[in-house]
Every structure is written in structure tokens, then in C-alpha cells.
A and B are shown apart, each in its own frame.
Chain A
């Protein structure tokens, strides 16, 4: 079999649509195109039936009690915004304090920043060197005024899985609502909203081989029943939580993606983890001075985030341009700042600049992994030959002893 280039290893950014998902969606564009809110004819009824079935499939993947707890959105950015701002709006009278972590996605962090402008206080809890938050640190941050804690299930850069169950125990005991951004972790690492005492959870279809532009927010209905201030006003769809005509084909595809994960997720994770370990072992056997960023065990199966000492991340990405990956290097962000997640983990800035994120997914093959490993090894060697830092390090010069002129 011949290898097809380019190779996609950026499955944290988005995933390809599973062909089975596409098949499920297609009828809802043309034949069954009805508006799920049309109560007066069969077109509407069929669309509504499809959406209600979809709610159940999505609810099942996270072990929610019922499909009624699922609010459809345009994606997890909107779900995160709705959860945080919606809780703040509804419960703000009870207290104006929110707790989150420094490694959350921008959709969470910037929603919190917005609350700060509106008079809320937000505590950003740090993480250990391994990229995992300590549940006791979350507990210590809670005050009488805390109304919400928001912690992600798995980090999108380093793939570290956070101790959701441990945090859920503590928030439930204190009567504080608990939101989880489960975008990266759902279907890949255990997630059970009931067992873990989660009150709100954001998920997104395009990260699980579903279509882009559709997401959901789980909103607990039973003990405690969670209420939200709506952020989108209009026709009162989604029980008033989120107005707007539902994206029926997207929702059907989302549900299909969840059904596939529910059935195949455990097996798939094993296979993907084996590929990840293969990539890691091959690279580290051949190359010295490779640092894994984030805990290697408490981690998504498909994530490998590593820094190649003395090789700049964007430079390396250019050398392996037939392989789609991403980097925590400053050069890849508009801000020219290296990844805030890696810095929050206490990584040296130089190592943050040297980081590459490999995101392995459903459609990657062993052949692709071997190709990528060989390519990375060859290019890192070449770039190290060109790196003044590597030369100095090999000569035993401590790079930290040099007075670098910042620019």
C-alpha cells in the first residue's frame, strides 16, 4: 500500500468526518429538511423525531439521565460561553466568584475574563509540572461566594486528563455548580456526568468525527436542577436556553458520531494509544534530549506533546510539512507568545518554543506513524546540526549561563 501525503496528525484541532456520520446526515439536507420547531406537519415532526433521538444518543455517551438535559449549540465555544455566563447571570445574586484553571481553553478563560469585567472575581488555579490540577487546590479556592467551578476533562495541548471525579465530589459537597469542558476527552477517557457529579458539560461534534458547527451543553435537570440565563434570545428553542433553528443534519451527525464512540471508543482508544506509544518509542530511541510535556499516564491516548531540545517548533514543522501537526512555539500564534499551557506547567520558554503536538486519531495507520517517526528523526538531526544551541550544549556549555539579549 502506498502512503498518502499529507498525513493528518492534528486530531485535537479537528477530526475528519466519519463516512458513517455523513451517510446518516445526508437525508436531512434534502428529503427530511424540515424545521424541528414546525409542529403542524410531517416535515417538522420527522426533523423533531430525529433531533429527539439524537439527544438520547448524546446523553447516553456521558451517562446523562435524559436527552432533555442536552442543549444544542453551534459548538463548544458557545457551550462554554453559555455555561459560564449563563450560570453567572442566573446565580450571580448568590455570589460572584468563579474558580477555573490556568490551562483551560480560551472559550472558558475569555468567558471568565468577561465576568471579571462585570464585577465577578475569578480564581485561576495552577497546575503541576505534569499539567494536571490538584483537586485540593480547587477546594482551597472555594469561598462562600463561589457559584461555579469550571475544569476541562482533558487539555487540548498536552492531553492531560484532569481529576474530574475528585473535583466533582468536592463541589457537590459544597453546593457549588461544576462545569466540565469535555470536548477533548469524551469517548476517549471515562466521562460519566452522574458518577462524577458534573452539572454542566460542553462537547463538540467536530472533535469526535462529526460535523463542524454543532455542539451541546449538558445541563443537569435532577438534583440539583441547573438553571441558566440564556445568551441568545429569540424563538425560545431548547427550552428557552438557546434560541435558533436547530441544525438538524448537524445534530443527526453529532448523534451518529456519539453512537460510534459509545460502541467502538474503548477498542479505538487502545489502538490509538498503541500508535502513540509506537511513535514515542521510535523517536526517543533514536533521539536524545526529547522531553514529554505533560503526564504520560494521565493522558489522552492519541496525544503526544514533546519538545526537541535546541530545535524550534515552527522550524521543525516546516521541515515535516507533509505532516500536519501543531506547535506551542510562539511563531505559530499571532501573539508571538509561546503556549500559555506549557508556560503554566513551568516549562522553560525555550522548551515551549521547541514543542510539537502530535494528535493521533481514528484514521491514522501504523504505516503513517512509522513514516512520521522516521521523518521527524531525520529532520531533528538536520536541524540540530544547524542549531547553535545544540552545538553549545554538546560542548557542555550551560545555555542558562549565557547573557542573552532579549529582543
Chain B
């Protein structure tokens, strides 16, 4: 199968390959797919107190289109709010990379990874807030930066 130039470009120069410490409270991690299906994506976001994605990383086991889809997703995520990030749809990734029909599932997986990372971050934050709920309200803005 011939790959589009954009898939090749991302595949040869993947952006944001790597890992964040998943236990870090600022990090949301999404791990989707299955080895038995031939693709697994791990996508991570670093979110600041304003709910803006400052940075993103990925590692992917999969074909060139899966790697390109996750690389593109990390690029798009940076600078977006969580709400904006949640609007990224697989069709946008598929269109940007000109994925053929048999590769659409790669873009679906990338969307799943984004949603899963956001969900993970939100859950961690909710759990943290529940734990550290102070007796007197301290609004987010008043918390020391860090």
C-alpha cells in the first residue's frame, strides 16, 4: 500500500515520542488498543492548572498510519484546553493524513487515546480534590503554583 506524504513525514520524523511519569498529578495517560489487534497507543498529556495541555507524548506499537496518527495527535493537543482537545475527531486525523479506508481504525484509535488521556487526568484531579478537600474552601486560583 502506498502511504501519503504526510504519513511518511510523521513516520520518519515522529513528534513527541516518549513518556511522562504517569504517577505525576499533572499527567493524564491513555493506553488503548491491544497487542492481539496489532496496534497499541499510549498517549500522555501534561495539563496545567488552567486546564490547558502544555505538552504531550506518545509511544505506539503499530503500522505507519498508527504511528503517524498518534504523532499528529500529540502535535494538535499542545496548547489546547481539555474541552478543545475533546473535540478532536478521528475524521480530522484521517483527513489530515489522507488515510485510506483500511487505515481509518488508526485514527479512531488516536481519538480513543486522546479521550482516554483526558479522562485519566480528570479522574486523577477529582480523586486528588476529594482527598485534599480543605475544611475551608481554597479556590483553585489561590492554591500555590507548583
Contacts and interface: CB of A to CB of B under 8 A. Distances in A.
A388 to B, nearest CB: 4
Interface string B102-133: 10010011001000000000000000000000
A127 interface: no
Contact of B38 (A334, A338, A385): A338
Contacts of B53: none
Contacts of B3: 318
Contact of A388 (B38, B41, B64, B108): B41
Given A312-B66, A389-B61, 14 more contacts: A312-B38, A312-B62, A314-B63, A330-B37, A336-B102, A349-B38, A353-B37, A353-B38, A387-B59, A388-B61, A391-B19, A404-B34, A404-B37, A405-B32
B13 to A, nearest CB: 12
Contact of B109 (A331, A388, A390, A407): A407
A32 to B, nearest CB: 41
Interface of B: 3, 8, 11, 14, 17, 19, 31-42, 59-64, 66-67, 102, 105, 108-109, 112
B35 A399 contact: yes
Given A318-B3, A407-B108, A407-B109, A387 B60 contact: yes
Interface residues of A, number: 29
A315 interface: yes
A402 B62 CA distance: 18
B102 A406 contact: no
Interface of A: 310-312, 314-315, 318-319, 329-331, 334, 336, 338, 348-350, 353, 385-391, 399, 404-407
B37 A389 contact: no
Given A385-B17, A386-B14, A406 B36 contact: yes
B19 A405 contact: no
B17 A329 contact: no
Contacts of B32: 405, 407
Nearest to B8: A318
Contacts of B42: 388
27 contacts: A310-B61, A312-B61, A315-B64, A329-B63, A330-B37, A336-B105, A348-B36, A349-B38, A353-B37, A386-B14, A386-B60, A386-B67, A388-B59, A388-B61, A389-B61, A404-B33, A404-B37, A404-B40, A405-B32, A406-B34, A406-B36, A406-B37, A407-B32, A407-B105, A407-B108, A407-B109, A407-B112
